Amino acid sequence: MIASDHLMIAPIVIPFFAGALTLLYDERQRRAKLGIGLASCVALLIVGVELLNRTKGNGAGGGEISFYLLGDWTAPFGIVLTLDRLAATMLLLAALVALPALIYAAAGWHKQGQHFHALFQFLLMGLNGAFLTGDLFNLFVFFEVLLAASYGLVLHGSGPARVRGGLHYIAVNLAASLLFLLGVSLIYGVTGTLNMAHLAKLVPVLPEVDRPLFRLGAGLLGLAFLVKAGVWPLGFWLPSAYMAAAAPVAAVFAMLTKVGVYVILRLSMLTLAQGTAGEMATGIATGGIAPAGTTAQILVAAGMATVVFGVLGVLASQGLGRMTAHLVLVSSGTLVTMTGLALLGGGAAMLGGALYYLVASTIAIAALFLLIEPMSREEGSIAALLALTADAYGIEQPEDDATPEMGLAIPGTLTVLGLVFGACVMVLAGLPPLPGFIGKVAMLRALIGSGAVPAALGWGVVALLLLAGFATLIGLARIGIQTFWASEGAVPKVLALEIAPVIALVLGLGVMTVKGQDTLRFMEDTAQSLLTPSIYADGVLSAPSVEQETPKE
Amino acid sequence: MEIVLSLAIGVLSASGIWLLLRPRTFQVITGLCLLSYAVNLFIFSMGRLTVGAPPIMPKGGWVDPTTYADPLPQALVLTAIVISFATTALFLVVMMASRGMTGTDHVDGREADQ
């Protein structure tokens, strides 16, 4: 194993050490903590780009998958990290969202409580670990790492609203974790393995008597992930928790629901998309609905219900915070629907569009979460708010905290705010030319054109997504009009440190538009390799250990 | 032995779920504790029930694996115990904070009739 192979574990190791290092500094040395955090995020971004380049490989359909055998035991006996295109995309997306959120936090939020930077890094470690792991129980461990950090972060800044929202968030997620454990242990009891690739091999040859138990385990596991993804009717905890969370925390939380979506996508593709898409479609058409069909129908129904619930929430919301939290639901609902449709045989083009939409909507939602505060700020109110939360937390304010508005204020505030807000609206509502539109067009065109999905269902999804986009436009435009056109008060004072991360995120969306074809093609290749799980499964099981590579036998 | 264990898991999870659905935070946390006990026992039982079988095999030579207990669920249950213990402790802190800030131990932070 050459040194550069070890780069694969860097997304877990970097935030782990950075987080541990920030714990050594006193709470007053925030500058040092911030420096460590920023360095870690920048390193993650660079590693993410490098790993993504590595998975591009020869570009012939499958793409390259790399493995990292922890402890040098070959799969399925040891624990394995797996990096394929989907994992690399998610790693890069996590780094892309984390860096602006941390810069935004530097404008003031990181002073509002203890251990912000350590928790932030541990959250990133859990996120990256969950994306990389190829083992169900390790997935549980990384989930718990990220959840434990998120419990701390959701309470960051304290205050009754956060504690109340946090209480529900923690209770629901603890219960979901127990379901996760039940599912994992049932699957182990039936199949005798926890390795995802090994599972993909074993499921098709499972004896008939064991199938009901396995389905029960998979169902419990799915339930746990649907809770994390905030899917209706399991996602009522989400809006209040996300709304109450501090702005930079909420921006990173936009990524957390995507972990649930990612795992559902990964596991359902590995264990269910066994036959070719065509076979499965004929299986459904002839009335003999396979378990894959049932799972797909449940996912489609739950996803569409989530979109409806999210859209109603968007229309009913009065504030931008609640609205954005409901937009998170719309986004994850759309993705869950698309996962279900892909299982029904929607094809790589549709799934590729969905992945493109995943990236675009996550970035836009994160930007919107960061915009809430500057947009709803009246002169001086933020200082009062910060002082209040600091007071509630009972921390002493050192001198540099006395003026939270210190820093460079930007000129033409309303213009800049309006432009970036408009860009976010266009992405989330799916208006051309920004990525939201490209993603939706790719999804919907493939959906109608493929013919694998029943026409009524296909058109139903099309209508729902278009209506959801329209409702999003109405809701966000209303907020925009209130803030930018109908406001009478003084122009809010916005720090450059607060607006720069948002502009960076919007620029990222711009790059996705300009490089639209390349990105979309990459996503379609990703989807193609997801739909042929044998690449992943065979690759993991044949990954050689270092001992085997050195000629000894 | 199977009957005793499954009864224990059943009773623990039934009481856990009932308590989890109650409106007071103390009931919720007790429910979560009971549920996690039930889950831990369940994980343990997934390695099949054996009496007096060691989980670790001696080094070298051929051994009959059927005379040994499955070590993996034992390792898993250890991890699960540690994690659920830690998260429950954290939940307890949030619960106390909620009680202090809102003045009530209702899970919604206010009494139902308010």
Residue with tokens 């599972």: A199
| 3-state secondary structure (DSSP) of residue A211 | helix
User: How many CB atoms within 10 Å of residue A215?
Assistant: 17
What kind of fold does domain B2-52+70-102 have according to CATH?
Answer: Helix Hairpins (1.10.287)
Give residue-wise pLDDT tens across range A331-350: 999 998 888 888 877 778 88
Characterise B103 by phi-psi region: left (phi > 0), alpha (psi -120 to 50), beta (else). Answer: left
Q: How confident is the model at residue B18 (pLDDT cuts 50, 70, 90)?
A: very high
Question: CB B76 to CB A186 under 8 A?
Answer: no
Written as six digits, the tokens of A316 are: 């009913």
Closest Cβ–Cβ partner in B20, B72, B107 for A175: B20
Interatomic CA distance for residues A328 and A365, integer angstroms: 7
A179-215: pLDDT as tens digits: 999 999 998 988 888 888 888 888 878 888 888 888 8
Q: Which of B36, B76, B97 sits opposite A137 (nearest CB)?
A: B76
Kindly report the average pLDDT of chain A as a whole number: 80
The pLDDT-based confidence of B71 (bands split at 50, 70, 90) is: confident
Cβ atoms of A221 and A183 within 8 Å: the answer is yes
**Neighboring chain B residues of A184 at a CB cutoff of 8 Å:** 76
The answer to whether residue B89 scores a pLDDT higher than 80 is yes
Query: In this complex, which of A148, A168, A177 lies closest to B90 when CB atoms are compared?
Result: A148
pLDDT per residue as tens digits for the range A120-140: 999 999 999 999 988 888 899
A367: enclosing H helix or E strand: helix A348-375
Taking contacts as CB-CB distances below 8 angstroms, the residues of chain B near A189 are 46-47
Could you tell me if A543 and A75 are in contact, meaning their C-beta atoms sit under 8 angstroms apart?
Answer: yes
Residue A551: predicted pLDDT: 52
Q: How far is CA B23 from the centre of its chain?
A: 21
SS (H, E, C) A39-92: HHHHHHHHHHHHHHHHHHCCCCCCCCCEEEEECCCCCCCCEEEEECHHHHHHHH
- Residues in chain B, how many? 114
CB A18 within 8 A of CB A37: yes
Instruction: Give this complex's ipTM.
Output: 0.91
Q: Which amino acid is at A110?
A: H
> Torsion-angle region of residue A370: left (phi > 0), alpha (psi -120 to 50) or beta?
alpha
Which residues on A lie below 8 Å from B91 (Cβ)?
Answer: 151, 170-171, 174
- Which tens digit of pLDDT belongs to each residue from A453-466? 777 888 888 889 89
Contact B102, B109 (CB under 8 A): yes
What does the pLDDT read at residue A383? 47
Residue with token string 């920023």 = A38
3-state per-residue secondary structure call for chain B: CHHHHHHHHHHHHHHHHHHHCCCEHHHHHHHHHHHHHHHHHHHHHCCCCCCCCCCCCCCCCCCCHHHCCCHHHHHHHHHHHHHHHHHHHHHHHHHHHHHHHHCCCECCCCCCCC
Phi, psi of B11 (to 5 degrees): -65, -45
Given a contact cutoff of 8 angstroms between Cβ atoms, the answer to whether A101 and A248 are in contact is yes
Residue A436 exposure: Cα atoms within 13 Å on the Cβ side: 28
Q: How many CA atoms lie within 13 A of A155 on its CB side?
A: 25
Backbone angles phi, psi at A70, to 5 degrees: -75, 130
Query: What string of H, E and C letters represents the secondary structure of A77-135?
Result: CCEEEEECHHHHHHHHHHHHHHHHHHHHHHCCHHHCCCCHHHHHHHHHHHHHHHHHECE
Q: Which long-range contacts (CB under 8 A, 24 or more apart) does A202-205 make?
A: A203/A271, A203/A274, A204/A274
Angle at A358 between CA A222 and CA A232, to 5 degrees: 40
| Contact between A196 and A270 (Cβ < 8 Å) | yes
Question: Which residues of B lie inside 8 Å of A (Cβ-Cβ)?
Answer: 20, 25, 28, 32, 35-36, 39, 42-43, 46-47, 72-73, 76, 79-80, 83-84, 86-88, 90-91, 94-95, 97-98, 101-102, 107-109
Percent of chain A with pLDDT over 90: 12
Domain boundaries, chain B: 2-52+70-102
> If we measure between CA atoms, which residue out of A253, A87, A80 comes closest to residue A165?
A253
- Cα end-to-end distance, chain B, whole Å: 50
Confidence at residue A276, expressed as pLDDT on a 0 to 100 scale: 40
